[in-house]
Amino acid sequence: MSINKITYLRDIIHNDILILNNVTTTIFHFSDTIEITQFLDSLEQDKVYVVTLEFTYSSLIHDSDIPSINLSKPILITKNSNPRLIYKHIKNQIFEICNTFLLDDSLISGEDSVGVIVKYREINLF
């Protein structure tokens, strides 16, 4: 899962609707792959997780009242997923959002208030 290429949930489960209850939330701050590596290290071995990624202008105050933009369809990860691949996926999606919505792409260069809200939960695929 997301070792050589990003694995989307839709590649495994062909439903158009996903409802994640009881998710765990964390935030990535665009620094580098270190925070993604630390995140992956915190996951349990031999478990698969479904992850949603949301771009937000204010990662310092993340709640339901702050607008966010979904970066992609939900992806699947494991403890052994490639952090560089995930980082590259996130950056590419943010550049795409900047181009689509005419946002300043300097947002990615290290502003400490913008970030990616990561919501995840273990999923049983079999």
Question: pLDDT of 6-52, one tens digit each?
Answer: 999 888 887 766 677 789 988 887 667 899 999 999 999 999 999 99
pLDDT at 98: 83
Assigned token pair, 76: 């699947």
Domain boundaries, the chain: 7-14+21-123
With cut-offs at 50, 70 and 90, classify the pLDDT of residue 63. low
Distance CA 21, CA 77 (A): 18
Contact between 77 and 2 under an 8 Å Cβ cutoff? The reply is: yes
Contact between 3 and 83 under an 8 Å Cβ cutoff? The reply is: no
Predicted TM-score (pTM) of the model is: 0.85
Distance CA 62, CA 66 (A): 6
